[in-house]
Protein backbone atom coordinates (compact mmCIF):
# COMPACT_ATOMS: atom_id res chain seq x y z
CA UNK A 1 0.00 0.00 0.00
CA UNK A 2 1.30 3.47 -0.82
CA UNK A 3 2.23 5.74 2.08
CA UNK A 4 1.75 9.48 2.48
CA UNK A 5 3.18 12.03 4.90
CA UNK A 6 0.27 14.28 5.83
CA UNK A 7 1.14 15.14 9.45
CA UNK A 8 3.39 13.80 12.20
CA UNK A 9 0.55 12.90 14.55
CA UNK A 10 -0.23 9.85 12.42
CA UNK A 11 3.26 8.35 12.81
CA UNK A 12 4.41 5.63 15.16
CA UNK A 13 7.51 6.42 17.20
CA UNK A 14 9.56 3.82 15.30
CA UNK A 15 8.56 5.31 11.94
CA UNK A 16 9.59 8.81 12.98
CA UNK A 17 12.90 7.51 14.36
CA UNK A 18 13.48 5.55 11.15
CA UNK A 19 13.10 8.72 9.05
CA UNK A 20 15.79 10.40 11.17
CA UNK A 21 18.10 7.36 11.06
CA UNK A 22 17.83 7.18 7.27
CA UNK A 23 18.41 10.93 6.87
CA UNK A 24 21.57 10.70 9.01
CA UNK A 25 22.77 7.71 6.95
CA UNK A 26 22.12 9.45 3.64
CA UNK A 27 23.85 12.60 4.89
CA UNK A 28 26.92 10.53 5.77
CA UNK A 29 26.93 8.87 2.34
CA UNK A 30 26.64 12.28 0.68
CA UNK A 31 29.50 13.71 2.75
CA UNK A 32 31.66 10.72 1.71
CA UNK A 33 30.93 11.50 -1.93
CA UNK A 34 28.89 8.34 -2.57
CA UNK A 35 26.50 8.87 -5.46
CA UNK A 36 23.10 7.17 -5.26
CA UNK A 37 20.78 7.32 -8.28
CA UNK A 38 17.69 5.23 -7.48
CA UNK A 39 15.31 7.62 -9.26
CA UNK A 40 16.57 7.43 -12.86
CA UNK A 41 13.48 7.88 -15.07
CA UNK A 42 11.33 8.90 -12.09
CA UNK A 43 9.51 12.23 -11.72
CA UNK A 44 8.48 14.24 -8.66
CA UNK A 45 5.86 16.97 -8.99
CA UNK A 46 6.02 19.87 -6.53
CA UNK A 47 2.71 21.72 -6.35
CA UNK A 48 3.34 24.98 -4.48
CA UNK A 49 0.61 27.55 -3.78
CA UNK A 50 2.84 29.47 -1.33
CA UNK A 51 6.36 30.87 -1.49
CA UNK A 52 9.34 28.72 -0.55
CA UNK A 53 13.12 28.85 -0.68
CA UNK A 54 14.36 25.98 1.46
CA UNK A 55 11.65 23.37 1.03
CA UNK A 56 11.33 23.76 -2.70
CA UNK A 57 15.06 23.92 -3.43
CA UNK A 58 16.00 21.09 -1.06
CA UNK A 59 13.31 18.77 -2.47
CA UNK A 60 14.33 19.61 -6.05
CA UNK A 61 18.04 19.18 -5.36
CA UNK A 62 17.39 15.98 -3.38
CA UNK A 63 15.44 14.41 -6.22
CA UNK A 64 17.94 15.54 -8.87
CA UNK A 65 20.91 14.26 -6.84
CA UNK A 66 19.14 10.89 -6.60
CA UNK A 67 18.90 10.78 -10.39
CA UNK A 68 15.27 11.84 -10.86
CA UNK A 69 13.46 14.67 -12.59
CA UNK A 70 11.83 17.26 -10.29
CA UNK A 71 8.98 19.25 -11.81
CA UNK A 72 7.84 22.47 -10.12
CA UNK A 73 4.20 23.47 -10.63
CA UNK A 74 3.50 26.91 -9.24
CA UNK A 75 0.14 28.24 -8.20
CA UNK A 76 -1.67 29.32 -11.32
CA UNK A 77 0.38 27.14 -13.65
CA UNK A 78 -2.03 24.23 -13.73
CA UNK A 79 -5.70 23.85 -14.59
CA UNK A 80 -6.44 23.66 -10.87
CA UNK A 81 -6.28 27.45 -10.93
CA UNK A 82 -9.20 27.22 -13.36
CA UNK A 83 -11.22 24.94 -11.06
CA UNK A 84 -10.19 21.49 -12.27
CA UNK A 85 -11.11 19.31 -9.26
CA UNK A 86 -8.43 17.68 -7.10
CA UNK A 87 -9.84 14.23 -7.73
CA UNK A 88 -9.27 14.64 -11.46
CA UNK A 89 -5.86 16.32 -11.15
CA UNK A 90 -4.65 13.66 -8.70
CA UNK A 91 -5.69 10.79 -10.97
CA UNK A 92 -3.94 12.38 -13.95
CA UNK A 93 -0.69 13.25 -12.19
CA UNK A 94 -0.36 9.71 -10.80
CA UNK A 95 -0.07 8.48 -14.38
CA UNK A 96 2.99 10.64 -15.07
CA UNK A 97 4.68 11.09 -11.71
CA UNK A 98 6.05 8.91 -8.92
CA UNK A 99 5.44 11.25 -5.96
CA UNK A 100 3.67 14.55 -5.20
CA UNK A 101 5.02 17.17 -2.80
CA UNK A 102 2.45 19.83 -1.97
CA UNK A 103 2.59 23.22 -0.20
CA UNK A 104 -0.76 24.93 0.09
CA UNK A 105 -3.22 26.64 2.45
CA UNK A 106 -5.82 24.02 3.38
CA UNK A 107 -4.71 20.74 4.95
CA UNK A 108 -7.80 19.19 3.34
CA UNK A 109 -6.33 19.79 -0.12
CA UNK A 110 -3.23 17.72 0.66
CA UNK A 111 -5.42 15.04 2.22
CA UNK A 112 -7.64 14.97 -0.86
CA UNK A 113 -4.61 14.55 -3.11
CA UNK A 114 -3.52 11.63 -0.95
CA UNK A 115 -7.01 10.13 -1.06
CA UNK A 116 -7.41 10.31 -4.83
CA UNK A 117 -3.92 9.46 -6.08
CA UNK A 118 -2.17 6.10 -6.03
CA UNK A 119 1.25 7.72 -5.60
CA UNK A 120 2.69 9.00 -2.30
CA UNK A 121 1.84 12.55 -1.23
CA UNK A 122 4.10 14.61 1.05
CA UNK A 123 2.84 17.67 2.92
CA UNK A 124 5.39 20.45 2.38
CA UNK A 125 3.43 22.92 4.61
CA UNK A 126 -0.18 23.88 5.05
CA UNK A 127 -1.84 26.43 7.33
CA UNK A 128 -2.15 23.61 9.88
CA UNK A 129 1.14 21.67 9.71
CA UNK A 130 4.74 21.60 8.51
CA UNK A 131 5.77 17.98 9.17
CA UNK A 132 8.92 17.82 7.00
CA UNK A 133 10.32 20.81 8.86
CA UNK A 134 10.13 19.18 12.26
CA UNK A 135 11.66 15.95 10.93
CA UNK A 136 14.79 17.76 9.73
CA UNK A 137 14.77 19.80 12.95
CA UNK A 138 14.76 16.65 15.07
CA UNK A 139 17.58 15.25 12.95
CA UNK A 140 19.52 18.44 13.73
CA UNK A 141 18.75 18.16 17.43
CA UNK A 142 20.00 14.55 17.35
CA UNK A 143 23.30 15.74 15.86
CA UNK A 144 23.81 18.47 18.46
CA UNK A 145 22.25 16.97 21.58
CA UNK A 146 23.39 13.42 22.12
CA UNK A 147 21.90 11.40 19.29
CA UNK A 148 18.53 9.93 18.41
CA UNK A 149 18.14 8.08 21.70
CA UNK A 150 18.34 11.35 23.62
CA UNK A 151 15.60 13.18 21.66
CA UNK A 152 12.85 12.24 24.10
CA UNK A 153 14.89 13.29 27.16
CA UNK A 154 15.26 16.95 26.19
CA UNK A 155 13.12 19.96 27.06
CA UNK A 156 11.94 21.94 24.04
CA UNK A 157 10.55 25.48 24.29
CA UNK A 158 8.53 27.21 21.61
CA UNK A 159 8.34 31.03 21.65
CA UNK A 160 5.85 32.80 19.41
CA UNK A 161 2.73 32.09 17.41
CA UNK A 162 0.67 28.88 17.79
CA UNK A 163 1.08 28.25 14.07
CA UNK A 164 1.62 25.36 11.65
CA UNK A 165 5.18 24.75 12.86
CA UNK A 166 4.03 24.83 16.51
CA UNK A 167 1.26 22.32 15.71
CA UNK A 168 3.82 19.99 14.16
CA UNK A 169 6.06 20.31 17.22
CA UNK A 170 3.07 19.32 19.35
CA UNK A 171 2.55 16.29 17.11
CA UNK A 172 6.22 15.38 17.49
CA UNK A 173 5.92 15.70 21.28
CA UNK A 174 2.93 13.35 21.13
CA UNK A 175 4.89 10.75 19.16
CA UNK A 176 8.22 11.00 21.01
CA UNK A 177 6.89 11.93 24.46
CA UNK A 178 9.26 14.84 25.15
CA UNK A 179 8.63 17.90 27.33
CA UNK A 180 7.40 20.85 25.27
CA UNK A 181 6.66 24.28 26.76
CA UNK A 182 5.06 26.79 24.45
CA UNK A 183 5.08 30.53 25.17
CA UNK A 184 2.23 31.94 23.13
CA UNK A 185 0.12 35.10 23.58
CA UNK A 186 -3.52 34.64 24.47
CA UNK A 187 -5.79 34.17 21.43
CA UNK A 188 -2.89 32.79 19.33
CA UNK A 189 -2.90 29.26 20.74
CA UNK A 190 -2.11 26.18 18.66
CA UNK A 191 -4.88 24.17 17.06
CA UNK A 192 -7.19 22.96 19.86
CA UNK A 193 -7.75 19.47 18.43
CA UNK A 194 -4.07 18.89 17.78
CA UNK A 195 -3.23 19.93 21.34
CA UNK A 196 -6.00 17.89 22.97
CA UNK A 197 -5.03 14.77 21.04
CA UNK A 198 -1.38 15.15 22.05
CA UNK A 199 -2.29 15.75 25.71
CA UNK A 200 -4.06 12.38 25.81
CA UNK A 201 -0.65 10.68 25.80
CA UNK A 202 1.81 13.42 26.81
CA UNK A 203 0.96 15.59 29.81
CA UNK A 204 4.28 17.44 29.48
CA UNK A 205 3.01 19.78 26.78
CA UNK A 206 2.25 23.12 28.44
CA UNK A 207 1.20 26.58 27.31
CA UNK A 208 2.68 29.65 29.01
CA UNK A 209 2.05 33.36 28.48
CA UNK A 210 5.49 34.40 29.72
CA UNK A 211 8.42 33.32 27.49
CA UNK A 212 10.81 33.33 30.49
CA UNK A 213 8.75 30.63 32.20
CA UNK A 214 8.55 28.50 29.08
CA UNK A 215 12.29 28.54 28.34
CA UNK A 216 13.35 27.78 31.93
CA UNK A 217 16.05 25.08 31.69
CA UNK A 218 15.14 24.38 28.06
CA UNK A 219 17.66 22.47 25.89
CA UNK A 220 16.12 23.82 22.69
CA UNK A 221 14.47 27.20 22.06
CA UNK A 222 12.52 27.40 18.81
CA UNK A 223 10.86 30.38 17.20
CA UNK A 224 9.20 31.36 13.93
CA UNK A 225 7.74 34.45 12.29
CA UNK A 226 4.85 36.23 14.04
CA UNK A 227 2.75 36.36 10.86
CA UNK A 228 2.79 33.27 8.64
CA UNK A 229 2.14 33.15 4.92
CA UNK A 230 -1.46 34.19 4.36
CA UNK A 231 -1.51 36.42 7.49
CA UNK A 232 0.33 39.39 5.99
CA UNK A 233 -2.61 41.72 6.67
CA UNK A 234 -2.25 41.02 10.42
CA UNK A 235 1.48 41.87 10.51
CA UNK A 236 1.14 45.27 12.24
CA UNK A 237 -1.33 44.06 14.85
CA UNK A 238 0.80 40.98 15.53
CA UNK A 239 3.90 43.12 16.03
CA UNK A 240 2.14 44.73 18.99
CA UNK A 241 0.79 41.48 20.47
CA UNK A 242 4.04 39.52 20.09
CA UNK A 243 6.57 42.17 21.11
CA UNK A 244 7.56 40.31 24.32
CA UNK A 245 7.90 37.01 22.49
CA UNK A 246 11.39 37.89 21.36
CA UNK A 247 14.30 35.46 21.38
CA UNK A 248 17.34 37.49 22.46
CA UNK A 249 20.30 36.85 24.74
CA UNK A 250 18.32 38.02 27.79
CA UNK A 251 15.75 35.27 27.16
CA UNK A 252 18.51 32.70 26.54
CA UNK A 253 19.91 33.36 30.01
CA UNK A 254 16.83 31.58 31.47
CA UNK A 255 17.41 28.40 29.47
CA UNK A 256 19.98 25.63 30.01
CA UNK A 257 23.54 26.96 29.59
CA UNK A 258 24.18 24.87 26.49
CA UNK A 259 20.72 25.43 25.03
CA UNK A 260 20.51 25.48 21.21
CA UNK A 261 18.40 28.00 19.28
CA UNK A 262 16.38 27.00 16.24
CA UNK A 263 14.23 28.77 13.65
CA UNK A 264 12.67 27.19 10.57
CA UNK A 265 13.45 30.34 8.53
CA UNK A 266 12.75 32.71 6.90
CA UNK A 267 13.47 34.93 9.95
CA UNK A 268 12.66 38.55 10.65
CA UNK A 269 15.74 39.67 12.58
CA UNK A 270 14.81 42.21 15.23
CA UNK A 271 11.23 40.88 15.44
CA UNK A 272 10.97 37.31 16.74
CA UNK A 273 14.76 36.82 17.07
CA UNK A 274 17.75 39.11 17.53
CA UNK A 275 20.54 39.24 15.00
CA UNK A 276 22.97 38.50 17.84
CA UNK A 277 21.23 35.22 18.73
CA UNK A 278 20.84 34.16 15.11
CA UNK A 279 24.55 34.64 14.51
CA UNK A 280 25.61 33.47 17.98
CA UNK A 281 27.34 30.26 19.01
CA UNK A 282 24.11 28.66 20.28
CA UNK A 283 22.34 29.00 16.96
CA UNK A 284 22.00 25.79 14.92
CA UNK A 285 19.66 27.48 12.47
CA UNK A 286 21.72 26.97 9.32
CA UNK A 287 22.41 23.32 10.17
CA UNK A 288 18.63 22.92 10.34
CA UNK A 289 18.30 24.41 6.88
CA UNK A 290 21.03 22.12 5.51
CA UNK A 291 19.39 19.03 6.94
CA UNK A 292 16.24 19.62 4.93
CA UNK A 293 18.18 18.29 1.93
CA UNK A 294 19.10 15.05 3.70
CA UNK A 295 15.73 14.53 5.36
CA UNK A 296 13.92 15.08 2.09
CA UNK A 297 16.19 12.54 0.39
CA UNK A 298 15.33 10.04 3.12
CA UNK A 299 11.60 10.66 2.77
CA UNK A 300 11.73 10.34 -1.02
CA UNK A 301 13.73 7.12 -0.80
CA UNK A 302 11.47 5.59 1.85
CA UNK A 303 8.26 6.56 0.08
CA UNK A 304 9.29 5.62 -3.47
CA UNK A 305 11.79 2.77 -3.42
CA UNK A 306 13.58 2.39 -0.09
CA UNK A 307 16.52 0.80 -1.83
CA UNK A 308 19.55 3.00 -1.10
CA UNK A 309 21.78 0.65 0.91
N1 LIG B 1 11.51 26.50 6.52
C2 LIG B 1 10.89 26.52 5.33
O3 LIG B 1 9.98 25.73 5.05
O4 LIG B 1 11.38 27.45 4.47
P5 LIG B 1 10.78 27.82 3.05
O6 LIG B 1 9.47 28.52 3.28
O7 LIG B 1 11.81 28.71 2.44
O8 LIG B 1 10.58 26.55 2.27
N1 LIG C 1 4.94 29.57 9.90
C2 LIG C 1 5.62 29.94 8.68
C3 LIG C 1 6.61 28.89 8.32
C4 LIG C 1 7.40 29.17 7.06
C5 LIG C 1 8.34 28.05 6.73
C6 LIG C 1 4.61 30.13 7.57
O7 LIG C 1 3.69 29.32 7.45
O8 LIG C 1 4.73 31.11 6.83
Please report, to the nearest 10 degrees, the dihedral formed by the alpha carbons of residues 154, 193, 7, 230 taken in order: -100
Sheet strands side by side (includes 205-208): 205-208, 179-183, 155-159, 220-223, 260-263
Closest residue by CA, ligand 2 atom 2:
228
pTM of the model: 0.98
Domains 8-130+292-305 and 131-288 share a fold: yes
Report whether residue 264 contacts ligand 2, using a CB cutoff of 6 Å. yes
pLDDT given at position 296: 98
Residues making up the chain, counted from first to last: 309
pLDDT tens sequence for the chain (309 residues):
889 999 999 999 999 999 999 999 999 999 999 999 999 999 999 999 999 999 999 999 999 999 999 999 988 889 999 999 999 999 999 999 999 999 999 999 999 999 999 999 999 999 999 999 999 999 999 999 999 999 999 999 999 999 999 999 999 999 999 999 999 999 999 999 999 999 999 999 999 999 999 999 999 999 999 999 999 999 999 999 999 999 999 999 999 999 999 999 999 999 999 999 999 999 999 999 999 999 999 999 999 987 777
* Rounded distance between C-alpha atoms, residue 224 and residue 288, angstroms: 13
Q: Mention every residue, 6+ apart, whose C-beta is less than 8 A from residue 43.
A: 68, 69, 70, 71, 96, 97, 98
> What is the 149 CA–ligand 1 centroid distance (Å)?
27
Q: What fold does the segment set 131-288 form as a domain?
A: Rossmann fold (3.40.50)
Q: What is the pLDDT of residue 76?
A: 87
Q: Which ligand is nearest to the CA of 104?
A: 2
Determine whether domain 8-130+292-305 maps to CATH 3.40.50.1370. Answer: yes
pLDDT of residue 194: 98
Q: Are 110 and 102 in contact (CB under 8 A)?
A: yes
Residues 6+ apart with CB under 8 A from 158: 166, 169, 180, 181, 182, 183, 184, 214, 222, 223
Among the listed residues 17, 9, 7, 19, the one whose alpha carbon sits nearest the alpha carbon of residue 171 = 9
Domain parsing of the chain, residue ranges: 8-130+292-305, 131-288
Provide the pLDDT for residue 254: 98
Amino acid sequence: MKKDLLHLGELKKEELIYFIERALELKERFKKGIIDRPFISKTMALIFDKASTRTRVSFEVAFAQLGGHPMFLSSGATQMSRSEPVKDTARVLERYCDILVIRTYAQELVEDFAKYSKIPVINALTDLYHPCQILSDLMTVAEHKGGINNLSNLKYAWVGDGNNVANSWINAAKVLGFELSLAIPENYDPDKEVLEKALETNKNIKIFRDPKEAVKDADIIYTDVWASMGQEAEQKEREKVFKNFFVDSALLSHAAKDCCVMHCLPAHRGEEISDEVMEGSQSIIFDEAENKLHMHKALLDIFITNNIK
